[in-house]
Chains A and B, each alone.
Chain A
Amino acid sequence: YHMVNPSPWPLTGALSALLITSGLMMWFHSNSIFLLVLGLITNILTMFQWWRDIIREGTFQGHHTPIVQKGLRYGMVLFIVSEVLFFTGFFWAFYHSSLVPTTELGGYWPPAGIKPLNPLEVPLLNTAVLLASGVSVTWAHHSILEKDRINAIQALIVTISLGLYFTLLQIMEYYESPFTIADSVYGSTFFMATGFH
């Protein structure tokens, strides 16, 4: 097994998470982005340095034996399972609220006063973009398996560009949206589910 050398990055990562969350609160309530920017910078630095160290340990130092790889795979699986449960919560909240809308909403869904986005417009484009990025990341995966570095890099560039495109589209959708997170349980469920997505 791999006994990792003492590393500061879990601590800096945790501190960056604290700075980001408190920075968000300061931004929302006190009109200051200082803590948030500090948190984002320390977060990016942590990610860069931690993953750089992992790459060094696994490649140059040869620590990623088959057993260690198995452990890393388990870790990824557990993370994915936790993500599934995480989104299950948001979907539960949405269906609970939308299938039996309360009288405060007018007894119908979408609630009184809400103009929902047409799912067949930008959201459909976003779906296509994400599916395409799934294709390109599979291309990257197979390139890596076949030790084809050039194709792997190309495929990852395509994947990341598609992800960026998706993000820009979402930013535009959020900016132009006629409702906010504060607009009844509709806004809450909408922005919690799409935001974390």
Chain B
Amino acid sequence: MWSRERPSRPCFSTPPFDPRFPNQNQTRNCYQNFLDYHRCVKNMDRRGRNPEACEYYQRVFRALCPKSWVQRWTDQLEEGTFAGKI
């Protein structure tokens, strides 16, 4: 009936369900992806490979984490005071 063409839109997606973090409190989900992104980048750089593969983790934590947390942790990483193991 309707032959209107759908205009192509950018694809908005959201992080998929992660069974490691099934409950309402998603703090750990955010934190884990933040850690995984930085560990991925560190390892890719160490092996001289392209860190593009790490982009998934970055998209997830950017979607899940409050910006203030990301800012705080990034600042800590720059200062060398980040508590997590990267």
Q: Which residues of chain A have a CB within 8 Å of any CB of chain B?
A: 103-108, 111-113
Q: Which residues of chain B have a CB within 8 Å of any CB of chain A?
A: 27-28, 31, 35, 69, 73, 82-85
Q: Which residues of A contact B69 (CB under 8 A)?
A: 103
How near does chain B come to A183, taking the closest CB pair, in angstroms?
Answer: 13
Residue of B nearest to A105 (CB): B83
CB–CB B85/A103 < 8 A? no
Distance A146 CA – B73 CA, assembled complex (angstroms): 68
Main secondary structure of the interface of B (DSSP, over half): helix
Q: Which residues of B contact A107 (CB under 8 A)?
A: 28, 31, 35, 83-84
Residue of A nearest to B34 (CB): A103
Distance A103 CA – B82 CA, assembled complex (angstroms): 10
Q: What are the 6 closest A-B residue pairs judged by CB atoms, nearest first?
A: A106-B83, A112-B83, A106-B84, A103-B31, A105-B83, A107-B84
CB–CB B85/A106 < 8 A? yes
> Max chain B CB contacts within 10 Å: which of A103, A104, A105, A108?
A103
Q: Which residues of A contact B35 (CB under 8 A)?
A: 107
Q: Which residues of A contact B83 (CB under 8 A)?
A: 103-107, 111-113
Distance A105 CA – B85 CA, assembled complex (angstroms): 10
Q: Which residues of A contact B82 (CB under 8 A)?
A: 106
Q: Which residues of A contact B85 (CB under 8 A)?
A: 106, 108, 112
Sample (7) of A-B pairs whose CB atoms are under 8 Å apart: A103-B31, A103-B73, A105-B83, A106-B85, A107-B31, A108-B85, A112-B83
